Amino acid sequence: MTDLSIIIPSFNTKQMTVDCISQLLSVVAVQELNTEIIVVDNGSEDGSPAAILELFKQSKHEKVEKELIALDKNYGFGTANNKAFAQATGTYVLCLNSDVIVKDVDFIDLCTYLHDHPQVGALTVRVNLQDGSIDPASHRGFPTPWRSFTYFTKLEKTFGKLPFFCQLFGGYHLTGADLTSIHQIDSPTGAFFLTRLDLIRELHGFDENFFMYGEDLDFAYRIKELGYQILYYPKYEVTHLKYKSGLQTKSSITRNQIRWHFYNAMRIFYDKHYAKQYPKVVNALIHDVIYRKMKRYENYRD
């Protein structure tokens, strides 16, 4: 029986993916945990599949099961993960981005914590950016209309860390929380998202209507709808090389495609989870704002 399945989607990030897997193997191989690593390549054109297979071939960590699923094109983040979920055998499943570096994470401790706390459906460690600051996307509240408004109008940035005001204006990133203590959050980032395989099966994995962005939020929302908690567990830290594979490194066309998917994910999430809770006039206003954003990048829709 496998204890932990680690799922890594990859798309044109060959060197980062190889570095991620190499470092990860050195960590999990010395822990008494039956682990499998499943990499899903989303039709990369940079030689990623061959490099990953070569790494697996040369690896001396034979106790860790390793598998590559090579897709013929980019099906999106959610679909890639779902392909791996279908083959995963671990009691627990870690969704890990290919641009995350794991060094000092005790996976036995994390899995034991989930085992001992059945009310916890998922958890994340502290996910840092390269400068040591926390990745804001890893410590989020659900994007209600009010929270989204305070974020995009920069009210959160202005007042989010002030006593009392953080409760009113800091809900998008839960700015009033103590980042040194274990506590509940609404959603981590898909960059490091540890959950249970039986829960993935019950929820049928990620919603593939989200191509990129939003899948993790949606999955977390559905986990909490079932009554489970989601925890921020800062005993361990990982580094997210977020902006090395992000917008800054892409062509202008790709950047605009990414922005279109970002706003489209906002639309899908709102319609799926919030539209039924608000009057038509509020829905019309929010749709208008989102569609205006999407329209700027409509010509780049892929």
Per-residue pLDDT tens digits for 193-207: 999 999 999 999 999
Report whether 192 contacts 238 (CB < 8 A).
yes
Rg, C-alpha atoms of the chain: 19
Instruction: Give the amino acid at 45.
Output: E
- Does 299 have pLDDT greater than 80? no
Name which of 20, 59, 58 is nearest 39 in CA terms.
20
DSSP letters spanning 70-92? E-SS---HHHHHHHHHHH--EEE
Per-residue pLDDT tens digits for 64-123: 999 999 999 999 999 999 999 999 999 999 999 999 999 999 999 999 999 999 999 999
Q: Give the per-residue pLDDT at 254.
A: 76
Report whether 189 contacts 135 (CB < 8 A).
yes
Per-residue pLDDT tens digits for 45-70: 999 999 999 999 999 888 899 999 99
Q: Give the per-residue pLDDT at 250.
A: 56
Report whether 99 contacts 23 (CB < 8 A).
no
Report pTM: 0.93
Q: Give the per-residue pLDDT at 163.
A: 87
**Using CA atoms, how far apart are residues 130 and 132, in angstroms rounded to an integer?**
5
Q: What angle do CA 247, 39, 223 make, to 5 degrees?
A: 80
Instruction: Give the amino acid at 144.
Output: T
Place of tokens 């945990």: 33
Q: Give the per-residue pLDDT at 247.
A: 47
**Using CA atoms, how far apart are residues 99 and 82, in angstroms rounded to an integer?**
19
- Does 298 have pLDDT greater than 90? no
Per-residue pLDDT tens digits for 238-272: 999 986 654 444 567 777 888 888 889 999 999 99
Domain ranges of the chain: 2-138+177-247, 140-175, 250-300
Q: How far is CA 271 from the centre of its chain?
A: 21
Q: Give the per-residue pLDDT at 101.
A: 97
Per-residue pLDDT tens digits for 153-171: 999 999 998 988 999 999 9
* Length in residues, the chain: 302
Q: Give the per-residue pLDDT at 248.
A: 47
Per-residue pLDDT tens digits for 265-276: 999 999 999 999
**Using CA atoms, how far apart are residues 258 and 98, in angstroms rounded to an integer?**
17
Q: How confident is the model at residue 148 (pLDDT cuts 50, 70, 90)?
A: very high
Instruction: Give the pLDDT mean for 281-292.
Output: 92
Is the domain 2-138+177-247 a CATH 3.40.50.2300 member?
A: no
Per-residue pLDDT tens digits for 3-42: 999 999 999 999 999 999 999 999 999 999 999 999 999 9
Instruction: Give the pLDDT mean for 131-140.
Output: 95
Looking at the chain, which runs of residues are DSSP E strands? 2-10, 35-41, 65-70, 90-96, 100-102, 120-128, 183-184, 192-196, 229-240
